[in-house]
Structures are given as structure tokens and as C-alpha cells.
Amino acid sequence: MVFLNYLINGISLGSIYAIIALGYTMVYGIAKMLNFAHGDVIMVGAYICFFSMNGLSSLFAPGSLAALVVPALAGTVLAMVVCTVLGITIERLAYKPLRQATSLAVLITAIGVSYFLQNAAQLLWSSSPKVFTPVVSPSAKLTLFDGQLSISWLTIVTVLVCVAIMLALTAFTGRTKMGKAMRACSEDKAAAQLMGINVNRTISMTFAIGSALAAIAGVLFLSTYTSLTPTTGSMPGIKAFTAAVFGGIGSIPGALLGGLLLGVIETFARAYISTELSTAIVFGVLIIVLLVKPATFMNESGLCVGPMMRFFKLDPRNVFVIHDEVDFPLGVMKLREKGSAGGHNGIKSLIAHMGTQEFPRLRFGIGLPRGKGEMIGHVLGKFRPEERELLDVMLGKATDAVLYTMEHGITKAGNIFNAVQDH
């Protein structure tokens, strides 16, 4: 149960990182800039909530339901409003004039805004640490398995808020007019402007949403780590940027996945390795991800796999490749120890850059396009609804095949998984 407790704590922390990362990834996806002042917006939101809660708590009877709920909700809402206005102001004054400037100029400006906010907070509220009152009492816990597992309600609220934000953003970007405008600006600002989209307003809205999310994240983060100073937002902001990179910066689902991954890694590193080294481990993982993360398309896979293999001095026989196979119908997969590319451009690239055909692979059947369908549209398209059930089965078998190969070798795995196929 100890492991499960750590996992839950990691998911909770990761949910906070995910909310912050969503702000980073939305701004980058549309404005193509890294707003390193985002972490300090978190700090401002936390201060606003802190003073609001302290001021309102005296208006209600101590221990009453109103005293527990109203200050927390009002403080959070006020923090969101203030941070939204702050985000729009920063964008208008600092970033909008640099719309056509170099990325270096924008980056330096973002760092300058960050230091400005930190020093302004120090002048306004002093550098003395303040004890933040959690919006949900950490002592309130949900107990399971006869007391062996306890989950704080703060953790539950944090995860639920993260999921709700993720669903709301997905619906907003996919179904609303402003959301579609954001997607259009992300693809091509010039084309979006020609279509009548107000690019400046769209970017301002993106900063507004990201800053509001920063306020929520600040309140949840300080509810867990209660020491509030003018530099409080710096490290969570940097870690959230790391989470955005993990998941693919510019991707909303990727921000969620990256945040959760980061939170779990940090929690387990703190629990099983070293509290002092947990942050270093997180950034070490980031370095590894940046080193091995593909920076090209599948047809040029060898450009990243070949150098990675040589850098880590990997035997090609220990590089396991999984690829689609149009020569097999969906429902058929084959494990192969070595062989030619068979017309697959990605495998051709791997062979060219690895210098050998002798690497194991799993060929996953997707079938040929129907009728006069183009191969590119077929390979990059979505599976039809009637194929989903079989696809789920085959993905499960493919997972089993990979795990069995890692443990027993590809020859034994091939004897088992190549023998019986679903059609």
C-alpha cells in the first residue's frame, strides 16, 4: 500500500504540474513563445488568494461550513480574475510589441517580466514567508482497505479539478468559435488573419486562459506546500515547462500526460532515492528525453535512432522496432528477428543509419486502403468504428508480445505470437 500511496501523491502533484503546463503549452502552441513569467503569475494568484481568505475568514463563525467554503471559493475566483487581467496586461505591454521580433528578444523579455513580478511582490508583500491556508484541509482523508490506504480530500479535489480543466479545454478548443480560432492561429497566423480572425484578440484570450489556470494551480500547489514567498512560483513553473516538453509542447493532452509523468517521477525519486536529489533527477530525465526524442517524421526515423544507438553504444539487436504493415490486414501481426525494409520508408531509413538489417521488429497489420484511397491518407488516418474492437484486441496482444520478447527473446516470442492470428 505504501507504493500505491506514493503513486497517488505523484498523480496529485502531477495534476498541478499539468494545469501549469497547459498554460505554457497553449501560449506556445498559438504565440510560439515560451512565457517564463508564467510561474510568477502562479505566485501572484497565490498571494491574492492568501489575503482574500484571511480577510474573509473573520466574517464567519470559526469552524462553520461557511468559514470553510466561502473564503476558499471567493479567494480562488478573485485570484483567477486578477491573474487573468495580469496575463492580458503582460501580453499587451511586453509581448505584443515584440510579435515580429526574434525569439531571443522575446525570451529575454519574458525573463525580465519574471524578475519584475518577483521584485514587485517583494515590495508589496515583503520577502518574509507566509503560511498559506489550504483550500481543503489536508487532514480530511478518505480511508480505504480497513485503514491501509488513506487519500486526502485535497488530493482528490486536485485530480478532479485537473480532469475537469482538461475536458473543458478540449471541448472549448474543439467546439467553440474562439477555440477554433486558436487552432487556426496555431496552424498559420497569416492564413487565419486572411480568414477574418482577429489574431491579436485570440492571443490575448490564450494568455487570459493560461493565467487563470496559473491561479488555480497556485492555489492547489500552496495548499500542499504552504510556504508562500515572492519566488514560490519559479520552480513549479520550470518543472511545468519540463512537463510540457515531456508531453510535446503545444499539445493539450500532452501537457496532461507530461505533468502526470513528472509528478510520479519526482514523488518516487523523493521516496526511494533522495529528497535532495529529486529535482535533479527530474531535470536529468528531461535531458535524456531531449536527447532521444524524435525530431523528424517516421520516414526518416533513422536520423534520430542511429545517433542515439551510437551515443549509448547499443547493439542493434537490442533496438526493438514496432511499425505498421500494409501487407498484413488488421488482426495480423508478426515478430521478425531481422530482414529487409519490404518497401517501408521508415525501416529503410533505420537500416541506412544503423548500418544493418539485424534488429528485431514487430510488424502490425493495418491493411491496404479501400477502393481508390491514397496510401498517405490511409496510413495517417483514423481507424473506422467497426475496426475498433479488433484494434483493441490486437493492441493488447502486441503489448504482450513486446513484454514476452523482452523477457524471453524474439525467437521464443515469435513461436507463440506468430502462430495464431485473429482475422
The region of weakest confidence among 116-130, 151-165, 289-303 is 289-303
pLDDT tens digits for range 373-409 = 677 778 878 888 888 888 888 988 999 999 999 888 8
Higher-scoring residue by pLDDT: 139, 180: 180
Overall average pLDDT of the 159-177 stretch: 90
Question: HEC states along the chain?
Answer: CHHHHHHHHHHHHHHHHHHHHHHHHHHHHHHCCCCCCHHHHHHHHHHHHHHHHHHHHCCCCCCCHHHHHHHHHHHHHHHHHHHHHHHHHHHHHHHHHHCCCCHHHHHHHHHHHHHHHHHHHHHHHCCCCEECCCCCCCCCEEEECCCCEEEEHHHHHHHHHHHHHHHHHHHHHHHCHHHHHHHHHHHCHHHHHHCCCCHHHHHHHHHHHHHHHHHHHHHHHHHHCCEECCCCCHHHHHHHHHHHHHHCCCCHHHHHHHHHHHHHHHHHHHHHCCCCCHHHHHHHHHHHHHHHCCCCCHHHCHHHHHHHHHHCCCCHHHCCEEEEECCCCCCCEEEECCCCCCCCHHHHHHHHHHCCCCCCEEEEECCCCCCCCCHHHHHHCCCCHHHHHHHHHHHHHHHHHHHHHHHHCHHHHHHHHCCCCCC
Q: What value does the mean pLDDT of the chain take?
A: 87
Is residue 290 pLDDT above 90, yes or no?
no
What is the reported pLDDT for 423? 46
Is residue 372 pLDDT above 80, yes or no?
no
For domain 2-292, give the fold: ABC transporter involved in vitamin B12 uptake, BtuC (1.10.3470)
Is residue 183 pLDDT above 90, yes or no?
no
pLDDT tens digits for range 234-287 = 898 888 888 888 887 777 888 888 899 999 999 999 888 888 888 888 888 888
Is residue 297 pLDDT above 80, yes or no?
no
For domain 299-417, give the fold: Rossmann fold (3.40.50)
Is residue 420 pLDDT above 60, yes or no?
no
What residue spans in the chain does CATH classification 3.40.50.1470 cover? 299-417
What residue spans in the chain does CATH classification 1.10.3470 cover? 2-292
pLDDT tens digits for range 92-104 = 999 999 888 888 8
Is residue 295 pLDDT above 80, yes or no?
no
pTM here? 0.74
Is residue 48 pLDDT above 90, yes or no?
yes
